Structure 1
Amino acid sequence: MNAPLETLASPWRHEEDIRKSRFLAQAAPVGSAAEALAFVEAVGDATATHNCWAYRIGDAYRFNDDGEPGGTAGRPMLQAIDGQGCDRVVVVVTRWYGGIKLGAGGLARAYGGTAAECLRLAPRVAIVAMGRLFVHCDFADIALFTARIREMDATIEQETFVADGAELTVLAPLDRLDAIAARLVDLSRGRIQPRRID
């Protein structure tokens, strides 16, 4: 079985000097391509020689060599993300040229290695697959159910009051959904029939 993928707990920075060039890797957790590109825009340094980047969000990924020879920066950085078992992550490696050419292999090692070390050192958290339940309950049961739902490591994502009670959208780890649904059926003595929402 594969280890669960991880994302960063918070943004992280790592700096290396490689043959007189300065490389600064900055990484962050992201939930969308727009977030990733906004991070690239925010941390890129206009005074630097290159601001190369890569991100992976599930099956979606992109990378950019920002003027370095093709395949020497962005792709090795994406490989570093994958190699570190990360997902929902963006990495920007900014280079200030120091006067010594590194060659294609040297560039790939410098960009990929700086990105990998940044991700290796960063605090990380496991990505937990989440799912949702739709629950309709009577007014009299709302307080009890909301308390029990929170005790089961779930959250109420949405609560809508209707004529005969409330409609709740419950967010919980996917592997806990069936247990939570069964517990709510038990609590209501079968009056409530939660259903999964895709």
Structure 2
Amino acid sequence: MPTYTLATPVHSDIEIRKSRFIGLALPVPDRDAAMAVLQDLRARHPSATHVCWALLAGGQSGMSDDGEPSGTAGRPILEVLRHHDLDGVLAAVVRYYGGVKLGAGGLVRAYTDAIAAALKDAERVERIAFATLTVDIDYADEPRVRRWLESLAGEGYALIDSHYDAQARLVIRLPATLREGAMATLRDATHGRARFPDSATPDDR
């Protein structure tokens, strides 16, 4: 099942029983980047009562109620992200308390609504795992391999490094799911002369 991230940051600003809820969701590469965004958000809203958040980023996911009753803020925000099949996304809600208590159910709805409103018209982009593929080829085969690479540039293939010794060594970045097929194609194109000295480690775009 594909997962998605956001093309751009999105915002909302809603008022519920005199409390103001400012929603923000944006793409982030990892937890460190998310924490930096939250630090900046707190700096820009020093008088806010709460800054609650949820992060979906693979093994670095997390959430915080930031002083709200347990389970009334971070978890609802996280569930909205999951509902949208998002990953690599931080969602946060800044609350300015307006003097009227909302109760646990009211808080869950408020935090859910703040992020849902921000994501209502958000543009999602599919999140693709990438890998690197190192290939050693004869110099005579290099022009053919480079043309093949150029023809697939629109599909996420890219030459990221090259070395020249007894053979030409090209380091290619490509969608991880297409790596095995690329190896087979390169073997065929070079009549079996292509060699693959390294294994690839997937990373996220």
Partner Cα separation in structure 1 for residue 168 and residue 100 of structure 2: 67
Large movers: runs of 4+ above 4 Å: none
Partner Cα separation in structure 2 for residue 183 and residue 46 of structure 1: 57
Which residue of structure 1 lines up, in the alignment, with residue 73 of structure 2? 73
Structure 1 runs not aligned, ≥5 long: none
User: 148-157 or 34-43: which moved more?
Assistant: 148-157
- Match of 1:132, SS? strand
User: Cα–Cα, structure 1 residues 83 and 17, in superposed 2: closer, same or farther, change >3 Å?
Assistant: same
Partner Cα separation in structure 1 for residue 53 and residue 181 of structure 2: 42
Q: How many residues align?
A: 195
Within 5 A, what are the aligned runs for 1:1-198?
A: 2=1, 4-44=2-42, 45-152=45-152, 153=155, 154-157=157-160, 159-194=161-196, 196-198=199-201
One-letter amino acid matched to 2:185: R
Contact 1:185–1:192 (CA under 8 A) maintained in structure 2: yes
Taking structure 1 as the reference length, the TM-score comes to 0.88
The share of aligned pairs that are identical, in percent, is 36
Please report the RMSD computed on the Cα atoms of aligned residues, expressed in angstroms: 1.9
Contact 2:30–2:60 (CA under 8 A) maintained in structure 1: no
User: Cα–Cα, structure 1 residues 185 and 27, in superposed 2: closer, same or farther, change >3 Å?
Assistant: same
One-letter amino acid matched to 1:123: E
Contact 1:28–1:91 (CA under 8 A) maintained in structure 2: yes
One-letter amino acid matched to 1:48: A
CA deviation digits over 1:107-146, x for unaligned, max 9? 1111122113323321110112322221112344434423
Partner Cα separation in structure 2 for residue 21 and residue 29 of structure 1: 27
